[in-house]
Chain A
């Protein structure tokens, strides 16, 4: 608001500098190419991922966490690919790659992301959606844009946090106040850059305004409600100490009543305790 358009454009350019973005493991490039080949088997894909042993161990730790509901039962990357699908495994690889950055950039954001992933999985199951793990990954990645700002533009990040304090804004509003746009926009760009599937991309982009989602409204609504509930339970910290606005359209889309949120929170309370110490 206080900034002219030229400055906003310049900031946007700086944030979206490809060279400074967290680099993803090389095996992910290879795997992405393999996935595009219709003849490639999950065995072949698993073999490529398994060449990076550190990464494989991290992926297995994550898929065996209570977030995904198969605790301790997935013993190999191939097994993970069969059970969860490549989109979920790719999302997890991305989250492990930005984990260090996230933990350093914003205290509590990792826990907030884990909590949101947990909530999304529970909500998607309750709504009767297939592949709830994909919803969980969308929840896991929904605030990545905040990390990018914090890392690329530390001064801007500091100004956002200051606005949160001084003007009693939530982080999203403060971003718009300082930058002219929020992490939802950065998410859209990041998701495209990293080749995430369109459903996860749209959910990352629309989690603050799921009623505007065009193609994957249910997933956007799930992440929206997940974000609301994690904030309500104050698990982790997403940059402010406020609740998010709960869009009634999101509840309607999932055919949820308020009592459904009770049931989701009942489940969350137990599971958050389990995921509270999950790190890489």
Chain B
């Protein structure tokens, strides 16, 4: 799931959350697949952002859309200064466990959702990056 500005929306992406107008009225339902005409209609309605399935757009830096597996793989790097510290090593391994569980659940969900024309999952970038 990733929140993206409307100008980065592309046909084939699927909505992970319904699009609503101010006031809560639903314009497009969750799960709907975007087309050129739907995107231009959203633009015309001044919708600025939408939430789509998967992680189709690399927006620079890690962040809210980062996959759990990527987070797990970043742990050694993030904890590199505390490699000799017993407590922090314990914390790191505990976090690895948590990220591992989340990653497995996420992978399973992605697989289950993989229908013939899955939106962008395969082309999501390799790393979250450093967000420098």
Interface residue ranges, A against B (CB under 8 Å): 72, 107-108, 111, 168, 170, 231-237, 241-243, 245-246, 248, 258, 261-262, 265, 269, 272-274, 276-277
Contact = CB atoms under 8 A, between A and B. Distances in A.
B102 to A, nearest CB: 8
Interface in B95-118: 95, 98, 102
Contacts, number: 77
A234 B49 contact: no
B64 to A, nearest CB: 4
Contacts of A265: 98
A177 B88 CA distance: 23
For chain A, what secondary structure do more than half of its interface residues adopt (helix, strand, loop), or is it mixed? loop
21 contacts: A72-B24, A107-B132, A108-B61, A108-B132, A232-B95, A233-B66, A233-B71, A234-B63, A234-B74, A237-B131, A241-B78, A241-B130, A242-B78, A242-B81, A245-B85, A272-B63, A273-B1, A273-B2, A273-B3, A273-B51, A274-B3
Contacts of B78: 231-232, 234, 241-243
B80 A242 contact: yes
B94 interface: yes
B3 A277 contact: yes
Contacts of A241: 77-78, 130-132
A82 B107 CA distance: 44
